Amino acid sequence: MSNEPQKAWSVVSPVLQPALVYLASLQPGQRSLLEVLHDVARLAADSLPDVDEVSLTLAENRWTPTTAFTGALAATLDERQYDSDFGPALTSMRSRTVIRIDDTSSERRFPGFAAVAQRQGVTSVLALPVPLSGELAGGLCLYRRSVGKPVSVDTENLAAAFAGYAGGPLASHALLVSRERDVGHLQASALTRAVIDQAKGIIMYRSACDADEAFRRIATYSQQANRKVREIAVDITTAVARGETLPDSL
């Protein structure tokens, strides 16, 4: 069992083997997802020939994509794509296909992006999906400045192998973040229910009404004040704790 990684790595270019050792060492929870993405993006830039800058994006349909860049050039070009919600990196990530732009001066599929890339001195772009499962999607985007020489097919093959090995560790980190976020949402929801129930109890005692009527009064007051029910509930419990008088409408 322990020899399987070495066997798998032996068929991969020696250029990638140090990167694969690092990817295999990543442990979920030890560092933030953004820190891990930055490390993996820099690792890709250092490992892959023909590449000047790299961006790496991880997204799930329930939360905003997290993107790491190796420099200002990649950040500028990725931000251009996110601003317009269109470009090779986004298309590759969403369709899970490879997108090549061998010459930005003649690119017709993404004319707006190509024009910005050309002004930034980028002559070719290679966007690849990071293999992930379920609701997760990932993308690796490579930017090159050398005139007349696009990102080579050999580099594309190496990048695809790199993305394949990066997918597992990145998915583990993203899953942990997603679970922590879900727990946070559940805790916040529980706190909201608790404070609303407490406010309802105060109104029930004060007005000798049932729970439904108490909640109706709180909800009506929140609509009139154009504020959330939870905020009104917090105001009620805080006012009572301070010995203050509640509004007559409650």
Residue 250: inside a domain: no
Three-class SS state of 231: helix
Residues 163 and 233 both lie in one domain: no
For residue 32, give the 3-state DSSP assignment: coil
Does 44 share its domain with 97?
Answer: yes
From 181, 196, 228, give the residue that closes a domain. Answer: 181
Residue 44's CB: how many other CB atoms inside 10 A? Answer: 24
- Average pLDDT of span 64-76: 88
| Residue 247 covered by a domain | no
**Is-above-0.85 flag for pTM?**
no
At 237, which CATH number? 1.10.10.10
The DSSP output letter for 228 is: -
Judgement on whether residues 173 and 204 belong to the same structural domain of the protein = no
- Least confident range from 14-18, 53-57, 185-189: namely 185-189
Cβ–Cβ < 8 Å for 29, 21? no
Domain that holds residue 64: 4-181
- The band of 107, judged by pLDDT with boundaries at 50, 70 and 90, is very high
| Residue 185 reports pLDDT greater than 90 | no
Domain boundary among 164, 181, 198: 181
- The DSSP annotation for 39-84 comes to HHHHHHHHHSTT-SEEEEEEEETTEEEEEEESSHHHHHHHHHHHHH
How far apart are the C-alpha atoms of 74 and 68, rounded to whole Å? Answer: 9
β-pairing, 63-69 with 53-60? Answer: antiparallel
Same domain, 135 and 217: no
Q: What does the pLDDT look like over 134-178, one tens digit per residue?
A: 778 899 999 999 887 899 999 999 999 999 989 888 888 776 655
The answer for residues whose C-beta is within 8 angstroms of residue 43's C-beta and 6 or more apart is 19, 22, 23
Q: What is the mean pLDDT of residues 16-38?
A: 80
Query: Quick one: 167 and 217 in the same domain?
Result: no
- Residues sharing a CB contact under 8 Å with residue 176, sequence separation 6 or more, in sequence order: 28, 29
Give the amino acid at 237.
T
Has residue 184 got a pLDDT over 60?
A: no
CA–CA separation, 135 and 175 (whole Å): 10
Contact 181, 63 (CB under 8 A): yes
Domain membership of residue 83 (yes or no) is yes
How much is the pLDDT for 224? 84
Higher pLDDT, 130 or 228: 130
Q: Which residue has the tokens 């997802």?
A: 33
Rounded to 10 deg, the angle between the 211-225 and 153-207 helix axes is 120
The tokens describing 6, both together, are 């070495």
**For residues 26 and 63, what is the distance between their CA atoms, to the nearest angstrom?**
23
Position 127 in a domain: yes
Say whether both 103 and 221 belong to one domain.
no
Domain assignment present for 24: yes
pLDDT digits over 195-225, tens only?
A: 888 888 888 878 888 888 888 888 888 888 8
Residues 134, 54 share a domain: yes
* Residue 67: strand pairing partners: 57
Number of compact structural domains in the chain = 2
Q: Residue length, the chain?
A: 250
